[in-house]
Amino acid sequence: MSLPTLLTQHIVRRPQRIALLQHIAEQGSITRAAKSAGLSYKAAWDAIDELNNLAERPLVERSVGGKGGGGARLSEEGQRVLRLYQRLQTLQAQLLEASEDAADLGLLSRLMLRTSARNQLHGKVVGIEAQGHNDRVRLELARGLVIEAQITHDSTLRLELDTGTEVVALIKAGWLQLYAIEQPVLSDTNVLRGVIEEVAAAEGGPSEVRIGLPNGQTLCALADPLQLRERALETGSAVQVAFSPTNVLLGTPL
């Protein structure tokens, strides 16, 4: 099975994050792999979440409380991506040797997109419904999870969206609302169920909540600590993650 186009482009644009896979394979520990890669522990987990979200299947399998601050190993898919990265390193070296103008490489780099959105989920378009000047775009994520995005019809045309188009759904952490499983959620809202994997408190601000979805992808939400306590949401809790289709931004490969 070929890699998703968006993951392949990520390998080219963000090689430092793919290189983390090599360190995980060698170290078997997130803490040690992060140190070897020159990343903080949190940055390493963020990178792993992003890679797993862009892949059709998780690249890194984790275990809580393993030796050295949390064990981790590459899945079969992760090993395959690592082999691809190593081949690309060889090709990159050959390209740099053959390049006549380094400015050409700088131009390509400037054309690539980075985003501040914490949540970047790989998916594909499975339906588009016209709603006046807007379109309701139905997306299938890994392992059959489905969400919807509402964008303008002009955006649909500009992005050249059609059934089967690969996209990245971008959702800011502050746009996610967390509810206990038994709580009602507004209709016409995306709702994904998952389990809270970690709650990182911040002094005088919202807590950062990492939620594992059943398809292996991960969401990061910002939540008021008082609200979390009122809803009895903590590490290990089942949770509903709700967000409006208007808060789902879509991106496609250049």
Distance (Å, whole) CA 241 – CA 216: 15
pLDDT value, residue 98:
57
Residue whose pair of structure tokens reads 């990492």 in the numeric block: 210
Q: For the chain, how big is the Rg over CA atoms in Å?
A: 19
pLDDT value, residue 101:
55
pTM of the model: 0.68
The answer for residues whose C-beta is within 8 angstroms of residue 137's C-beta and 6 or more apart is: 125, 127, 128, 148, 149, 150, 151, 156, 161, 250
pLDDT value, residue 252:
82
Cβ atoms of residues 150 and 132 within 8 Å: no
Q: Is 171 helix (H, G, I), strand (E, B) or coil?
A: strand
- Which residue stretches of the chain have pLDDT < 50? 1, 66-68, 107-113
pLDDT value, residue 5:
53
Query: What domains are there in the chain, each with its CATH number?
Result: 5-111 (1.10.10.10), 115-254 (2.40.50.100)
Residue whose pair of structure tokens reads 């949190």 in the numeric block: 42
